Amino acid sequence: MTNPPRKDSVFVIIESIHLPDHGTQENVHGLPPEKLKLREVVYVDVGREPLNNKDSKDPKKFVSQKTGRGPFTGNWSETAKPIMTCYKLVTIEIKVWAFQSRVENFVANYQKKIFSNFHQDLVCGMDDWLHLTMAEIRVFEERTKRELDEKKAAAANKRPGSGRRRSKTGQKKNSIH
């Protein structure tokens, strides 16, 4: 994600690697030593994180009808089989003087909430996606992409400065804010 008006002064990069382990890998993204020193590891456990969305299903109460997995309480990850860890590397750079560390910290904290909410919903919705074929997944992905594109277009149209306005002389002008 970048901010076009600011060019390379604002960006967030999210990289994911999924592995069949218990989150014990030290450097799955292959960071060089200088970046590894700066890295902060944040664990997100779907069973221990507070619910970020009142509409979310609760992994602490959820039991899959198809697999019998759940509820996700206590040390569930030590006994669950199979298990997968999603390692995420979030790189945040805000090159705006006086706001850099504040905004970077805000975005990092917000990312944890997004990941928690997403993975809680994903786990609690496993009965809806668990046995889908690749063809069914591709149809779902296309529908989701289309819906997201529509939402992004609608949001862009609502944003201040996204439309055109008339100047006092009646000529059309691009709004610049």
In this predicted model, what pLDDT tens digit does every residue of 73-83 receive, in sequence order?
998 988 888 88
Summarised one tens digit per residue, pLDDT across range 73-125 is 998 988 888 888 999 999 888 887 777 888 888 888 888 888 888 889 889 99
Tokens representing 34? Answer: 């200088």
CATH code assigned to 2-124: 3.30.530.20
Beta strands at 164-166 and 172-174: parallel, antiparallel or unpaired: antiparallel
- Read off the pTM: 0.69
Q: How many residues does the structure list for the chain?
A: 177
Helix (H, G, I), strand (E, B) or coil at 107: helix
Amino acid at 147: E
- For the residues 168-174, what does the mean pLDDT come to? 41
Mean pLDDT is lowest, of 4-8, 85-89, 129-133, for 4-8
Contact 126, 41 (CB under 8 A): no
pLDDT tier, 71 (very low <50, low <70, confident <90, very high otherwise): very high
The full DSSP string for 96-117 is -TTTHHHHHHHHHHHHHHHHHH
Sorted by where each begins, the domain ranges of the chain are: 2-124, 132-159
